[in-house]
């Protein structure tokens, strides 16, 4: 199954709201904790076989310092942009350093599923896809990462971030991000099954055309029409 899904997410400095014990009748209960609106962008990549490829981390900075790239998940790549988000050069770097090394070892046709952001498409990427027999599908509607992986990942991130803030004062520093990211990823239970269930829920693996069409065209009810030995897809309005 040479099918890969990538998607970009952000890890914030805010662990979110927490459940607390307080006196009955309390009208306002606050948890005083240092946090900021800053976030770190991470490109995650998964395969239909249930494998998680190394993350690719983007910092908002002009420079990239050695302390910011230590202690993360094995194989993690790091970069920086002025905005803190992926731009064209950063996406091409992810494509060359994370995706191509994986796809080069696979025979036959490869399928890449990602979002449709303009910064994620370039002549370099398209030429590489042609050279390495990669079919590039851009859509925000069929994203296994959104369906089954990002939610448990961010749940663990908020938990580990809160634990860090309870032991340290101030906002999270970039040198701590790789180590906390590794803890968050390592603590996700049944990671392989979650990834596989994401591809299944999107109707990608195993292929389920009804699921795919329902996600792409939610107001259309697809049915199979088998006639004269051939299968046809008939769309009827709900």
Phi, psi of 218 (to 5 degrees): -65, -20
Domain 3-12+35-191 belongs in CATH node 1.50.10.10: no
pTM, 2 dp: 0.84
Identify the residue whose tokens are 């303009």.
118
Tell me, what DSSP letter sits at residue 74?
T
**Per-residue pLDDT reduced to its tens digit, 11-46:** 998 776 656 566 666 666 555 555 566 789 999 999
Q: Residue 170: how many CB atoms within 10 A of its CB?
A: 9
The secondary structure element, H or E, covering residue 131 is helix 123-131
- Report d(CA 178, CA 176) in Å as an integer: 6
Q: What is the domain partition of the chain in residue ranges?
A: 3-12+35-191
**Per-residue pLDDT reduced to its tens digit, 94-134:** 999 999 999 988 999 999 999 877 777 889 999 999 999 99
């Amino acid at each position: 199954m040479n099918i890969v899904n990538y998607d970009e997410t952000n890890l914030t400095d805010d662990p979110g709201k927490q459940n607390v014990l307080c006196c009955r009748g309390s009208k306002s209960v606050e948890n005083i904790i240092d946090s900021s609106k800053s976030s770190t962008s991470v490109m995650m990549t998964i395969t239909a076989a249930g494998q998680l490829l190394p993350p690719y981390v983007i910092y908002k900075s002009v420079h990239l310092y050695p302390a910011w790239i230590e202690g993360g998940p094995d194989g993690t790549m790091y970069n920086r942009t002025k905005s803190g988000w992926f731009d064209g050069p950063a996406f091409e770097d992810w494509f060359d350093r994370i995706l191509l090394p994986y796809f080069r070892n696979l025979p036959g046709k490869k399928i890449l599923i990602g979002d449709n952001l303009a910064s994620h498409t370039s002549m370099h990427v398209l030429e590489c896809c042609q050279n390495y027999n990669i079919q590039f599908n851009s859509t925000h509607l069929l994203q296994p990462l959104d369906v089954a992986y990002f939610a448990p990942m961010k749940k663990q991130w908020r938990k580990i971030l809160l634990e860090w803030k309870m032991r340290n004062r101030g906002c999270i520093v970039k040198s701590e991000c790789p180590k906390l990211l590794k803890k968050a990823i390592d603590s996700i239970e049944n990671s392989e099954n979650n990834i596989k269930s994401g591809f299944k829920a999107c109707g990608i693996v195993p292929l389920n055309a009804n699921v795919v069409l329902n996600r792409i065209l939610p107001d259309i009810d697809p049915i199979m029409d088998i006639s004269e030995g051939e299968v046809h897809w008939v769309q009827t309005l709900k």
